[in-house]
Amino acid sequence: MNRIAFGRGRVAAAVVVVLGLVLGGLTVAHAQKGSQVNPPATFKFTDAKVAPSRAGFAPVVKAVVPTVVSIKSSKVVRTGALRGQRQGQIPDQLRQFFGDQFGGQFGIPNIPEDQRSEGLGSGVIVSPEGYILTNNHVVDGATDVQVTLSDRREYKARVIGRDQEADLAVVKIDAGNLPAITIGNSDAVEVGDYALAVGNPFGVGQSVTFGIVSATHRGTGLRIEGYEDFIQTDAAINPGNSGGALVNDRGELIGINTAIIAHGSEGNQGIGFAVPVNLARNIMDQILKNGKVTRARLGILPQDVTPTIARQFGVKDSQGALVGEVEANSPAQQAGLKTGDIILEVNGNSVYDANQLRNMISSMQPDSKVNLKVWRDGAQRTLPVTLGELNPEEARTRGGNGRNENGSTDALEGVSVENLTSQIARELKLPAGAAGVVVNEVSPASAAASAGLKQGDVIQEVNRRPVKNVAEFEAAVRNSMDGTLLLVNRDGHTIYVGV
């Protein structure tokens, strides 16, 4: 309250100053004893009669705002395990639901074992029958969901279905004849298009912000969600906007506002992300039709093509998705895809990077037949593939298991390696018969560290030639003329690292 009152005081002072400047001459004249100031005989006060022009987005906002709702969700959280944590520290599993502003309450000794906590978000009415599209993290784990319409009517909602990987959910309220938003085409969105974000930031009520589309097909690199294909915008998005509408200048829904990048607990800094509406609509349709979301599976571990990797494989551009590993008995293996292939196109559509390939495949249905254009051994070829079904529980563990042994030898600058023994292979959980050299030290200042090589990696190939021991590794590295391409086994999965 003090901050609000102070703000009002500053505004009032500013008004007084402005009035003093405008009326200063009259004030001085009246201060002279016996003087009188009369306006000229020709001076007249005229009321404005011409309506101001409507060059803004008021008509668009009037159509969109009734379709955007506020969502309050609550759930019981076990907080006994949180006792003793530092003041201001909030666990990752609660951060999305509460927000950083609640961090200070944890660590208080007398905190109860169970607490009912509330979260605020937004949603978009997509049908007159009361179906609402929102973010999964707005309703995840909620025992009670309440929806407030723009005209302040309140309804209890039930969750129809959720998709954690894309952070989307569908909820339903028992109401009819509701205003539904017009769904646009996110594939037609271009960088520089106008964008308006509508939602309930910080719980203050319906708000509209304006900006442009800053980027499309954006992955954050932070793995905010399992599948990232965001529309990035500088239209202000803040906590509470989650699940709200991102619309174009025609009032068509192009995305569901989902996340922001901010320092600490700060709010909008001009980098907001929305799930494209085409992806959201596909997931929503599956939830309504099947009660769940199914995704296709190719069965590879893809990675981006860096300039170093592009030179090593002889491709012109650093585009496409490099196959770092082909899973056994997968659709990819059955179609003849190999480690070291670079996927350039899927059904004639260009592949920019590994994230885009992952999104393209996941948007398809199991048993779909696709044609992959791949780069192999200096030439292009087309492979027909019948996709499988992705197991929702399937996940990969990434990262290296640290080792620091003596007796290693320097080959790449700042990198030391040693022979892979059967004991080390068992410790690293490598398959039987695995061969190569183990990285036991990588200097943080080295080019290899910048490229992603880690302690515990097992280097199996150098410049696409197998290496079985330190001597072969050193010889292969000495023969490198234009960078070094390493095939690395990390946690049982192979990837390429270009140094």
Pick the catalytic residue from 242, 330, 362, 416: 242
Q: Would you place residue 79 in the very low, low, confident or very high pLDDT band (cuts 50, 70, 90)? A: low
Least confident range of 5-9, 246-250, 450-454? 5-9
Which homologous superfamily does the CATH classification assign to the domain defined by 409-498? PDZ domain (2.30.42.10)
d(CA 423, CA 434): 12
**CATH 2.30.42.10 domain residues, the chain:** 296-389, 409-498
Mean pLDDT, all residues of the chain: 78
Active site residue 122: no
Residue 263 annotated as catalytic: no
Which fold, 296-389?
Pdz3 Domain (2.30.42)
Per-residue pLDDT, averaged over 27-54, amounts to 48
224, pLDDT greater than 80: no
Out of 17-26, 251-260, 276-285, least confident range:
17-26
State the catalytic residue, choosing from 150, 163, 167, 353: 167
Q: What is the mean predicted confidence (pLDDT) over 373-399?
A: 79
How far apart CA 249 and CA 230 sit, in angstroms, is 19
Q: Higher confidence at residue 236 or residue 265?
A: 236
193 catalytically annotated: no
What is the CATH class of 62-173?
Answer: mainly beta
Could you give the CA distance from residue 462 to residue 487 in angstroms, rounded to a whole number?
Answer: 7
Determine the pLDDT at residue 476.
Answer: 81
Per-residue confidence (pLDDT) for residue 82, from 0 to 100: 45
Strand partners, 437: 419, 459
Strand segments (E) across 90-153: 114-125, 131-134, 144-148
pLDDT given at position 249: 94
Run of H or E including 93: helix 92-98
Q: Give the pLDDT band of residue 96 (cuts 50, 70, 90).
A: very low
CATH topology of domain 182-290: Thrombin, subunit H (2.40.10)
* Residue of 53 and 403 predicted with greater confidence: 53
> Does the pLDDT at position 398 exceed 60?
no
**What is the distance between the terminal CA atoms of the chain, rounded to a whole angstrom?**
57
| H/E segment holding residue 313 | helix 307-313
Q: According to CATH, where is 2.40.10.10 located in the chain?
A: 62-173, 182-290
Distance CA 165, CA 287 (A): 13
Give the three-state DSSP class for 300.
Answer: strand
Letter string b/e over residues 122-156, b meaning 16 or more CB atoms within 10 A of that residue's CB = bbbbbeeebbbbbbbbbbbebeebbbbbbeeeebe
Of 106-110, 175-179, 254-258, 372-376, minimum mean pLDDT range: 106-110
- Residue whose C-alpha is closest to residue 231's, from 268, 275, 284, 167: 275
Highest mean pLDDT among 15-19, 345-349, 415-419, 458-462: 345-349
Token pair of 430, please?
Answer: 């490598």
User: How many other CB atoms are found less than 10 A from the CB of residue 270?
Assistant: 15
**Mean pLDDT (whole number) for 351-377:** 92
DSSP 3-state of 489: strand
- pLDDT above 90 (res 402): no
Contacts of 155 (CB under 8 A, 6+ apart): 130, 146, 147, 148, 149, 173, 174, 175
**Residue 454, exposed/middle/buried by CB under 10 A (0-12, 13-18, 19+)?**
middle
Between 439 and 41, name the one with better pLDDT: 439
Please choose, from the candidates 281, 260, 71, the residue with its C-alpha nearest in 3D space to the C-alpha of residue 163: 281
- pLDDT higher than 80, residue 265: no
Residue among 137, 196, 142, 136 at smallest CA distance from 168: 136
Q: Can you give the pLDDT at residue 410?
A: 39
* pLDDT(20) > 50: no
Residue 498 — very low, low, confident or very high, per pLDDT cuts 50/70/90?
A: confident
Given pLDDT bands bounded at 50, 70 and 90, which one contains residue 370? very high
pLDDT above 70 covers a percentage of the chain that reads: 73
